[in-house]
Chains A and B, each alone.
Chain A
Amino acid sequence: MFDAAMTQTIVLTLRLAGLTTVLLLLLGTPLAWWLAHGRSFGKDVVSTLVSLPIVLPPTVLGFYLLIAMGPNGPFAAILGRPLSFTFWGLVVGSVVYSLPFVVNPIRNAFEAMGPRPMEVAATLRASPLNAFFTVALPLASPGLLTGAILGFAHTVGEFGVVLMIGGGIPGRTKVLSVQIFDYVETLDWGKAHLLAGGMLVFSFAVILSMTVIERRLTGRRA
């Protein structure tokens, strides 16, 4: 049913989304904790920056990312070569683009928890780090799960940013959404249907499973 080009695109997309999600959880969880508990003015600024991709047109974000990752940008200065039009460039772009969708649910979960559980843990001899892993993370698990799923799904569906910084090179930067666009442009409706329909089913399954799992997780302790 899928030809080689399609399979390549699907695998690439899943790899990109998977990697991005893992990176976002590793980066986003401490960031969310800091945003939930910090008290400085810097917190508001960072919080705004994190949420910018929600309102910014993807082309604007993609444009600046392209400049940052281009031959004269800071990434090239550090890494010795530009990141634009590479798979890792897409990963960096996706991390920025999907950041609010991961950080915000986790942050909300940490805030909803309140300070009490961490205080209780401290009075029971748990060091702050130990309490974070044994109390805060498990209690925030519904938020972590929501964040992970939203981050994954959002990365799978991105179009504007990847087109700007990736260009759509087959096997390297051509992801599903770009592929669908190409099929439509070349009037290959059948293949476009296949991928678009697949995305539709995927998105439906994501949202449905999220609802069910979240109810399970919260229902257990209501």
Chain B
Amino acid sequence: MIDARFAGRLGRFRLDAAFTAPGQGVTALFGPSGCGKTSVLRCMAGLTRLTHGHLTVNGETWQDGRHFRRTHRRPLGYVFQEASLFAHLSVRANLDYGRRRSAPADGQDIGFDEVVELLGIERLFDRPVAMLSGGERQRIAIGRALLSQPRLLLMDEPLSALDRISKDEILPYLERLHARLSIPVIYVSHDLTEVERLADTLILMEAGRVRAQGAIAGMLADPDLPLIGMPRPAAVIDGEVIGSDTEYGLTHVQVPGGVVIVPGLLGAPGTRTRLRVPASDVSLGRKPPSDTTILNALPAVILGAEPTKNHQVTVRLQLGADGAGAPLLAGISRKSWDTLGFRPGETVVARLKAVALDVPSA
């Protein structure tokens, strides 16, 4: 469990952010640019010191009214927006820098070989730092942070300085990390897609304050939060593989309130996975479909609907005939909404055109 509160002035900006985050998994600090996300992260690392600060990480107090542990005494890993590798050191020496200075964490430590394997950086060892691509640098920076045996990993928009291709190259590595790491990760981002793929918990920030916090699935579908109104809304659903159809290359995933069939073979039963279902890929009907190419048609209960721009409606649903399952969003035209006369409380059949697959979550 992480308990944090930071308040004070940074120039003309007022920060007053308080939150708690689970002691495990990825917590995203999400919000528009300039809302104070990075400042919060710097405060957590002890790089910035405000008038009021309090931070406990899994029972250990890092700072409160009287005590302030300086950055190098906090067992944390920090991944900056730009990789910030030491230019005067080789790739290998960069990786060793924190490792040599850290006390081994009690049996929890993550080994050199494992980090190298997880991040796929072995063949980069002999290259000069200046010859690495942006994505490669960031992977080394992540490895360097992990090898210092942190008990908290702080990541400040680690992908934002990268181009699209490098981003796509790194995201799978981050997902693998997510599945492997037992330490909590605070991930600052203003990119909702990244957050949807990586985060378990979401802390929404606005103008220096925490607007809301909670499990990501619920936050994305919360009508009182601005997330649902953002471009390309989507639901994320965590599930577990229950079986596969090798002949057709399909996997059956149990999610709260139903079973979803996903293209591809995702692993043995029991594997945890995350599904990302864009609202635009969900349509609604009253009867189970026949004569259709759509594989997934699941009962769901309508909770409400939010009008969006372009005469669309984002419908909030919850899976299961009883509406007790995972949240789901459907993007339909306002004309369909009005013509079909859907009402909150009504049970409908949600058809999932495509299901994008994401994280094997821990």
Contacts and interface: CB of A to CB of B under 8 A. Distances in A.
Bind each other: yes
Interface of A: 116-117, 119-128, 130-131, 134-135, 138-139, 141, 220-222
A24 B70 CA distance: 32
B202 to A, nearest CB: 24
Given A123-B76, A125-B102, A128-B72, 13 more contacts: A119-B47, A119-B78, A120-B80, A121-B72, A123-B72, A124-B98, A126-B97, A130-B101, A138-B88, A220-B128, A220-B130, A221-B129, A221-B130
Contacts of A130: 101
A75 B149 CA distance: 54
Contact of B86 (A120, A123, A127, A222): A120
Q: Lowest 4 A-B CB distances belong to which pairs?
A: A124-B98, A123-B78, A122-B71, A125-B101
Contact of B88 (A125, A126, A128, A221): A221
Give chain A's interface secondary structure class: helix
A120 B78 contact: yes
Nearest to A128: B72
A97 to B, nearest CB: 32
A179 to B, nearest CB: 42
Contacts of B70: 122
B151 interface: no
A222 B129 CA distance: 9
Contacts of B97: 121, 124, 126, 134
B24 interface: no
A118 B102 CA distance: 17
A126 B101 contact: yes
Nearest to B71: A122
B77 interface: yes
Interface of B: 45-47, 70-73, 75-78, 80, 82, 84, 86-89, 97-98, 101-102, 128-130, 144-145, 148
A169 B144 CA distance: 59
A124 B101 contact: yes
Nearest to A125: B101
A125 to B, nearest CB: 4
A123 B101 CA distance: 11
Given A120-B78, A221-B129, A135 B86 contact: yes
Contacts of A124: 72, 97-98, 101-102, 144-145, 148
A116 B80 contact: yes
Contacts of B144: 124
24 contacts: A116-B82, A117-B84, A117-B86, A119-B71, A119-B80, A121-B86, A121-B97, A122-B47, A122-B70, A122-B72, A123-B77, A125-B73, A125-B101, A125-B102, A126-B101, A131-B72, A134-B97, A138-B88, A138-B89, A141-B88, A220-B128, A221-B87, A221-B129, A221-B130
A120 B75 CA distance: 13
Residue from A116, A121, A125, A126 with most neighbouring chain B CB atoms (10 Å): A125
Given A120-B86, A138-B88, A221-B88, A127 B72 contact: yes
Nearest to A134: B97
A100 to B, nearest CB: 26
Contacts of B128: 220-221
A130 B73 CA distance: 13
Residue from A121, A122, A124, A128 with most neighbouring chain B CB atoms (10 Å): A124
A222 B130 CA distance: 6
Contacts of A127: 72
Contacts of B45: 123
B328 to A, nearest CB: 40
A135 B93 CA distance: 12
A126 B97 CA distance: 9
Contacts of A222: 130
A221 B84 CA distance: 13
Contacts of A135: 86, 88
Nearest to A222: B130
Given A125-B98, A125-B101, A222-B130, A120 B71 contact: no
Contacts of B145: 123-124
A82 B73 CA distance: 49
Contacts of B89: 138
Nearest to A120: B84
A126 B87 contact: no
Nearest to A140: B88
